[in-house]
Copies of this chain bind each other. A is one copy, B any other.
Amino acid sequence: MSENREAPIGVFDSGVGGLTVAREIMRNLPSERIVYFGDTARVPYGSKSRESIIRFSRQIIHFLQEEHVKAIVVACNTASAYALDEVQKDLDIPIIGVVKPGAKVAVKATRNKRIGVIGTKGTIGSNIYADYIHEIDPEITVVGKACPLFVPLVEEGWLKDPVTVEVAERYLQELQEQDVDTLVMGCTHYPLLRSVLRELLGEKVTLVNPAYETAQSLKQLLKEMNLDNPGIKEEEFPYRFYVSDLADQFTAFANSILPYDVSMTKKIDIEKY
Taking Cβ atoms with an 8 Å cutoff, the residues of A that contact B are 40-42, 47-49, 51-52, 121, 148-149, 151-153, 155-156, 162-163, 166-167, 170, 244-247, 249, 271
- Closest-CB distance, A8 to chain B (whole angstroms): 26
List B contacts of A271 (CB < 8 A).
Answer: 271
A249-B163 in contact (CB<8A): no
B163-A156 in contact (CB<8A): no
List B contacts of A40 (CB < 8 A).
Answer: 48
Identity of the chain B residue whose Cβ is nearest the Cβ of A125 in the assembled complex: B248
The answer to whether A49 and B152 touch (CB under 8 A), given A42-B42, A166-B166, is no
A246-B49 in contact (CB<8A): yes
7 inter-chain pairs at a CB distance below 8 angstroms, sorted by A residue, are: A41-B52, A47-B247, A48-B247, A52-B247, A163-B163, A163-B166, A163-B170
A156-B148 in contact (CB<8A): yes
CB within 8 A of A245: which of B41, B52, B170? B52
List B contacts of A167 (CB < 8 A).
Answer: 163
Copies of this chain held together in the complex:
2
* Cα–Cα, bound, A55→B196 (Å): 39
A47-B249 in contact (CB<8A): yes
List B contacts of A148 (CB < 8 A).
Answer: 152, 155-156
List B contacts of A49 (CB < 8 A).
Answer: 245-247
9 closest Cβ pairs, A-B complex: A152-B152, A52-B245, A49-B247, A271-B271, A48-B245, A42-B42, A41-B52, A49-B245, A149-B152
- Closest-CB distance, A176 to chain B (whole angstroms): 18
B163-A51 in contact (CB<8A): no
Identity of the chain B residue whose Cβ is nearest the Cβ of A40 in the assembled complex: B48
- Closest-CB distance, A73 to chain B (whole angstroms): 24
* Most interface-central of A151, A166, A167 (chain B CB within 10 A): A167
List B contacts of A41 (CB < 8 A).
Answer: 42, 48, 52
List B contacts of A156 (CB < 8 A).
Answer: 148-149
Sample of 6 further A-B pairs with CB below 8 A, known A47-B247, A52-B244, A121-B249: A42-B42, A47-B155, A47-B249, A149-B153, A151-B152, A162-B166
